[in-house]
């Protein structure tokens, strides 16, 4: 892994290793051969965790490692490269965990002189990691413990300087809520898989970064020349236009028509109130301005302010996205945008994943409706759509109070504890709560959820785009696939998953409408390392498989590649899913094709020859 000092481009070639137990930090060089095989970003993080984390340990064991990683494109002049990934063994799934966030923090880390940070051990007392260019030090953060994420960031920047960028946890992470998030840049979230809880288990409150160096680029002039001339195409891409105009909420109504938007804990296919939370309404009523991450021409963030009602005056610099609008809206039969904004604010302050929070609250409301839990258990009536109940439960989860303490364990563990048949509507895969795309509307998404390494994940593939009719000729996806058909889905899911590993290793935002064929060339111009499309796709497959191998070592196999009961057995009478469900037999058919395409055995374990072909053995 170690090489001598050579000039690198795109990459810094250095990782900061921080041991919180010994309070020591050290720098490590990263070799080009490793970068060729795993690219960077999530690929490099997966390699580190696979090599170094004992799969048998508890996610809260100090031996678990929390790896923050950027990619070779991060912080460069390539657009939409302000993202980072954070990985560890997940407290929700007890297997591979990863979460992604955007903003400016990642660029700042690169400018400080690091591609990534590996956090090891556990601090004795609340601590703050400060990285000021290459000066890395651990400071006491006792005065910040207990503070909300937005306050924490504000306080740190006041103390250290406005130029610092901060990623931190809130009270939820401190209390080991299993779906606690890490919040950076005033409300951007690395939400999924409980990475904030792992950070909390290490007593690490925040990482503040300031950097003054430019990320070196091999051929900046050629890149500028190319970018200038491919912008007309990039900005003409349909979803890019939607995100630029409306943000991610822009697709809410079209997804609703497909039956894709979950309503009432995935139990309803239609909801008369849906327009109250649509992108059009949201942008008209709540949105005051557009904002963007580092170097992004799309600007999908929305700056929102509540003008009327009990929360009048509440502002969010990073307003609710599609997932939050639905997880804290339609999923709970909550039609009030102001309540969604307030709920989002609370989640950001506590440091809670809005998707998992919404799913846990929906689960509690259904338990209440079915009489499995009572008002006495909850301390409040949990009627669907009740603003007081929603906001109170978020606080209870963040504080680990009463019923909130049970829900803070995630919907899988909460359902096991509450019982009463509630596992039939506990919406998760492998312990990760379902995102806001109903797989009964797009069966390929069902397969994607079932097999994704981090559990129910809509981002590593988003195969519904192909099921909507998108052709990705560079990946040899030529034909539109019927969304209710199961044949052919195994192959397409594997293909798009591999490609998304590439994007998340580089790291470049998926909202940039740039065809796969352009990516290797841009990488080559940035790094000076020649890459072809075939080589990058193979790296994506390697990365996907090394994560699977980590999961296999955690005990994951075919038995875990499944879907919630409701998705397999309950069709919706109304709405765009047209009564479809994904029966266990259909899931089995898709899995068989998928395992075959992947070169895994019938139990979902990568075959020796597959690992050998990918250089993983």
Residues at the interface with other proteins (CB under 8 A): 222, 225-226, 228-230, 232-234, 236, 471, 473-474, 478, 515-518, 520-522, 524-525, 532-533
Task: Give the nearer residue to other proteins in terms of CB position, either 372 or 519.
Answer: 519
CB of 72 to other proteins, least distance (A): 15
CB of 233 to other proteins, least distance (A): 4
In whole angstroms, give the CA distance from residue 147 to residue 170: 6
CB of 518 to other proteins, least distance (A): 4
Task: Give the nearer residue to other proteins in terms of CB position, either 64 or 240.
Answer: 240
Provide the 8-state DSSP code for 214. Answer: P
Q: Count the Cβ atoms, other than its own, within 10 Å of residue 316.
A: 22
Q: Return the structure tokens found at 62.
A: 């100090």
Task: Give the nearer residue to other proteins in terms of CB position, either 293 or 475.
Answer: 475
CB of 527 to other proteins, least distance (A): 12
Nearest to 343 by CA among 366, 368, 316, 381: 316
The neighbouring-strand residues paired with 41 are none
Strands 14-19 and 116-120: parallel
In whole angstroms, give the CA distance from residue 45 to residue 504: 11
CA atoms lying within 13 Å on the CB side of residue 485: 11
Helix (H) or strand (E) holding 100: strand 96-101
Task: Give the nearer residue to other proteins in terms of CB position, either 533 or 589.
Answer: 533
**Is the separation of the CB atoms in 529 and 399 below 8 Å?**
no
Residue found under tokens 């900046």 = 220
Strands 188-190 and 204-210: unpaired
Task: Give the nearer residue to other proteins in terms of CB position, either 515 or 571.
Answer: 515
CB of 510 to other proteins, least distance (A): 17
Q: Return the structure tokens found at 203.
A: 């007593």
Q: Return the structure tokens found at 507.
A: 């790291």
Provide the 8-state DSSP code for 69. Answer: E
Task: Give the nearer residue to other proteins in terms of CB position, either 1 or 230.
Answer: 230
CB of 260 to other proteins, least distance (A): 24
**Is the separation of the CB atoms in 260 and 576 below 8 Å?**
yes
CB of 246 to other proteins, least distance (A): 24
CB of 495 to other proteins, least distance (A): 16
* Residue spans of alpha helices (H) in 235-321: 238-246, 252-258, 279-285
Task: Give the nearer residue to other proteins in terms of CB position, either 239 or 356.
Answer: 239
Q: Give one DSSP letter per residue of 548-561, joined into a string.
A: HHHHHHTT--GGGS
CB of 517 to other proteins, least distance (A): 3
The neighbouring-strand residues paired with 208 are 130, 166
In whole angstroms, give the CA distance from residue 614 to residue 617: 8
CB of 229 to other proteins, least distance (A): 4
Give 57: exposed, middle or buried? Use CB within 10 Å, 0-12, 13-18, 19+.
Answer: middle
Strands 14-19 and 127-132: unpaired
Task: Give the nearer residue to other proteins in terms of CB position, either 383 or 471.
Answer: 471
Nearest to 614 by CA among 550, 501, 548, 538: 538
CB of 543 to other proteins, least distance (A): 22
Q: Residue 507, preceding bond cis, omega within 30 degrees?
A: yes
Task: Give the nearer residue to other proteins in terms of CB position, either 375 or 482.
Answer: 482
């Amino acid at each position: 892994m170690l090489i001598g000092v050579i000039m690198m481009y795109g990459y810094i070639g250095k990782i900061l290793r921080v041991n919180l137990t010994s309070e020591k930090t050290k720098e490590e060089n990263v070799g080009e051969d490793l970068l060729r095989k795993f690219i960077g970003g999530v690929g490099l993080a997966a390699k580190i965790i696979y090599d170094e984390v004992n799969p048998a340990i508890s996610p809260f064991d100090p031996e678990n490692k929390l790896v923050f990683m950027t990619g070779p494109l991060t912080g460069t002049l390539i657009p939409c490269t302000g993202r980072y990934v954070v990985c560890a063994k997940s407290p929700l799934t007890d297997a591979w965990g990863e979460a992604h966030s955007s903003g400016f923090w990642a660029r700042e880390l690169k400018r400080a002189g690091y591609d990534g940070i590996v956090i090891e051990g556990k601090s004795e007392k609340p601590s703050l990691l400060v990285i000021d260019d290459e000066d890395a030090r651990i400071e006491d953060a006792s005065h910040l413990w207990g503070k909300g994420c937005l306050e924490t960031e504000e306080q740190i920047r006041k103390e250290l300087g406005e130029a610092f960028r901060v990623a931190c946890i809130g009270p939820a992470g401190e209390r080991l809520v299993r779906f606690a998030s890490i919040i950076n840049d005033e409300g951007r979230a690395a939400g999924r898989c409980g990475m904030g809880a792992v950070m909390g288990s290490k007593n690490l409150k925040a990482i503040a970064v300031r950097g003054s160096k430019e990320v070196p680029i091999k051929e900046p002039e050629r890149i500028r020349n190319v970018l200038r001339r491919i912008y007309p195409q990039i900005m003409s891409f349909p979803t890019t236009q939607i995100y630029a105009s409306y943000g991610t909420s822009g697709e809410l109504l079209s997804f609703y028509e497909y039956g894709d938007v979950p309503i009432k804990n995935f139990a309803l296919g239609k909801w008369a109130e849906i327009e109250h939370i649509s992108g059009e309404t949201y942008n008209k009523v709540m949105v005051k301005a557009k904002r963007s991450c580092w170097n992004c021409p799309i600007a999908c963030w929305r700056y929102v302010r509540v003008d009327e009602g009990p929360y009048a005056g509440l502002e969010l610099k990073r307003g609710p996205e599609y997932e939050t609008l639905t997880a804290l809206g339609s999923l709970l039969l909550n039609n009030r945008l102001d309540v969604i904004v307030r709920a989002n604010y609370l989640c950001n302050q506590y440091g809670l994943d809005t998707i998992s929070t919404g799913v846990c609250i929906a689960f509690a409301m259904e338990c209440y409706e079915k009489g499995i839990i009572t008002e006495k258990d909850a301390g409040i009536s949990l009627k669907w759509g009740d603003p007081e109940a929603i906001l109170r439960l978020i606080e209870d989860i963040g504080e680990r109070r009463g019923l909130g303490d049970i829900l803070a364990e995630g919907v899988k563990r909460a359902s096991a504890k509450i019982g009463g048949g509630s596992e039939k509507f506990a919406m998760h895969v492998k312990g990760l709560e379902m995102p806001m795309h109903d797989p009964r509307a797009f069966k390929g998404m069902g397969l994607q959820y079932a097999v994704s390494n981090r559990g129910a994940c809509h981002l590593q593939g988003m195969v519904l785009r192909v099921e909507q009719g998108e052709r990705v000729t560079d990946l040899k996806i030529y034909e539109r696939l019927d969304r209710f058909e199961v044949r052919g889905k195994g192959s397409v899911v594997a293909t798009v998953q591999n490609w998304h590993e590439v994007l998340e290793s580089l790291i470049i935002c998926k909202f940039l409408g740039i065809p796969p064929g352009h990516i290797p060339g841009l990488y080559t111009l940035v790094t000076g390392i020649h890459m072809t499309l075939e080589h990058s796709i193979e790296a994506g497959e390697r990365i996907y498989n090394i994560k699977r191998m980590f999961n296999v070592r955690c005990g994951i196999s075919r038995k875990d590649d499944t879907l919630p009961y409701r998705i397999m057995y309950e069709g919706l009478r109304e709405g765009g899913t047209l009564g479809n469900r994904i029966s266990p037999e259909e899931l089995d058919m898709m899995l068989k094709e998928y395992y075959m395409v992947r070169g895994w055995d019938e139990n979902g374990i990568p075959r020796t020859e597959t690992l050998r072909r990918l250089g993983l053995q």
